Amino acid sequence: MTVYRIRHQTLYSYEAPVLHAHHLAHLRPRRFDYQTTRRTLLEITPAPRDQHRQEDYFGNDCDVLEVLSLHERFEIVATSEVEVRERATLEHIADEPHKQIGWQAVAEQLARDPRLLAAREFSFDSPLVRVHPMLREYALPSFPEGRPLLDAVLELNDRVHSDFSYEPASTDVSTPLAQVMRERRGVCQDFAHVVVGCLRSLGLAARYVSGYLETVPPPGQPRLVGSDASHAWVSAFVPGLGWLDLDPTNALLPNLSHVTVAHGRDFSDVSPLKGVVLGGGRHSVKVGVDVQRLAD
């Protein structure tokens, strides 16, 4: 087991006073068999008039905020303490029956089996990820007819890591996925959207996962790309296994260095902070993330 303390600061600065604001925050790490959130503290300035927690459609823990105080700066600092335990590795699942299920059989099963409706909803278009022939064409070399789904998604994860360049500030949330495909560059959010779009374009189910990477790498290992910022990866549905997480930014399967916050169809479902304000004019945003290992 590894324990982390995570501090995520978001600061909005406005050119004119904000009169009224509503915000939705996805900043509380989820609970799983492999992850337990000991505590999360939100420090919000100015203090909201109303604040309540709720589960969204995807089961993520989120905070709904309403701010009525006149303000030109809005800051929210989330500090969490999280326990992360070892997940099943490829060696543990390599001999399981699901390893031999062909990807086309899985696509057909998703389309027809009513017992898989919860997974099937992640095979359709979402606001930022649309099924597209360009995505299908890119994916197909990893998905020849009859190839086991598990082998195919692992190769796709590695190919995106090899074919795309990680370039901070080269894209933002409004950058079309088609542009990312043409330029072959972006950030973790883009690479997660590419893999999600590729799998959906083949009739498979994939969801977008938001979270964090450990800031300081273990001794003797290289620093992982995406540290000191929110991170994003993919979860692919494999019958018999469930949801398998894949990190195309770093060409690995998330484990002890990844802390999961939320999952949805794409980034728009799990943005750390979004909302609507009255007034404010143009604004700038500053984000800082620190992930500190406390103990093993």
Bin 240: left if φ > 0, else alpha if -120 < ψ < 50, else beta: left
Q: What is the mean pLDDT of the chain?
A: 92
- pLDDT band of 169, cuts 50, 70, 90: confident
Q: What is the pLDDT of residues 275-284, one digit of tens each?
A: 999 999 999 9
pLDDT reported for residue 98 = 58
Helix ranges restricted to H, 26-176? 90-93, 103-112, 117-120, 133-139, 149-163
Q: Give Cα separations from 121 to 26, 101, 109, 127 (angstroms).
A: 21, 20, 13, 13
pLDDT reported for residue 218 = 67
Q: What is the pLDDT of residues 122-152, one digit of tens each?
A: 999 999 999 999 999 999 999 999 999 999 9
Higher pLDDT, 96 or 261: 261
Class of CATH domain 2-84+271-295: mainly beta
Q: What is the pLDDT of residues 192-207, one digit of tens each?
A: 999 999 999 999 999 9
pLDDT reported for residue 214 = 86
State whether residue 260 is helix, strand or coil. Answer: strand
Mean pLDDT of 209-237: 81
**pLDDT above 80: residue 229:** no
**166-201 core/surface letters (b: 16 or more CB in 10 A; e: else):** beeeebeeebebeebbeeebbbbbbbbbbbbbbbbb
Q: Where in the chain is the domain with CATH 2.60.40.2250?
A: 2-84+271-295
Q: Where in the chain is the domain with CATH 3.10.620.30?
A: 90-254
Which burial class, exposed, middle or buried, applies to 165 when counting CB atoms under 10 A from its CB (0-12, 13-18, 19+)? exposed
pLDDT reported for residue 223 = 63
Which of 16-25, 162-171, 217-226 has the highest average model confidence (pLDDT)?
Answer: 16-25
Mean pLDDT of 151-159: 96
Mean pLDDT of 222-236: 79
- pLDDT band of 92, cuts 50, 70, 90: low
- Domain covering 90-254, topology: C8orf32 fold (3.10.620)
